[in-house]
Structure 1
Amino acid sequence: MFDYLTNLNDHNLPYPDTIHPIVVHFVIAMVLFAFCCDVIGYFTRNSRLFEVSWWNMLIATISIFVAIIFGQFEAGLAKPYEVAKSVLNVHTLIGWSLSGIIAAITAWRYVIRARDPKRITFYYLGAGLILIAIVGLQVYLGDELVWVYGLHTVPVVEALKDNISP
């Protein structure tokens, strides 16, 4: 049984493909959609959009921890070469920071919702805009890890197995 668990595939993973990007794209979409709902709800005074935003942020808060767990596991199996290590380290640091930031903003959103579910503050929208900027930076770094440095791509995994520097 343990032999099966230690066998890694062409992507250097014990399962068919990376799971971290799947879960993290879910989080990205939910955070972006929540912010859009808040902005539209704020300017149109449509409080139903605030409820949609709240539930998206709550699920995104839970999901980001799942994304981090898979991200840490898959990063450990990636065997990044020297050039990619600094980008991976920054991506990891921002990912863990984002989990706290998203949790804090969701908690703030809960307090706002408990006080008056039909209104949000302009300051909360400002925090949401900062969150969107940090998420955008994190997306850029993640894309760089895959599309520039090729982590968990077959050619890079094969090169690393053959001790060839990519």
Structure 2
Amino acid sequence: MPKLVDHTARRRELASAVWRVLARDGVAEVSIRAVAAESGWSSGALRHYFATRAELLAFACEEVIATVRRRIGKLEPQGSPREVAEALLRETMPLDERRHLECSIAFAFLALGLGDPELARVQRMHFTAMAELCRAVAPQGTDPRRLHALVDGLSVQVLAGHLTPAEAAAGLSDYLDDC
């Protein structure tokens, strides 16, 4: 009897390998060969799922977006609209190791998307998802674009080492208090 393969699980396994390579070595070092070595697969087997580096990177970023959406969807934050907004937005910020990796991957697509239409598509997907979240949780009478810019700005500053996660979380909290 032929072996049944869960292709979705295999693709997610490869996305996890991309995340590990990216976290350890940086986006420039993500290649079919590096991800194959990280996952314990051959390059040929990996190419069965992703023909190019761009396809592999795009899928890895799409998985980050889907992972964050699933996590936010499972939350049931309690409290005022302001407290709910803060709880949901904190899930998108690099405030712990897991979210730092997710943000690193998502923001890597800013530069990568400039030269590759497939990666630009994923970068737009990331920003669209974030814009939708900000529209959904923005305090009454505030501009959700400003909230989006604030969360992205604080996140980039953490990724660049200019703010600690605690400082970024406090910056979001202060902004929401002022709304």
Q: Which structure's CA Rg is the greater one? A: 1
Q: Please classify the TM superposition score into its range, dividing by the shorter chain length.
A: 0.3 to 0.5
TM-score when normalising by structure 1: 0.33
TM-score when normalising by structure 2: 0.31
- Could you say which structure has the greater relative contact order, defined with CA pairs below 8 angstroms and 6 or more residues apart? 1
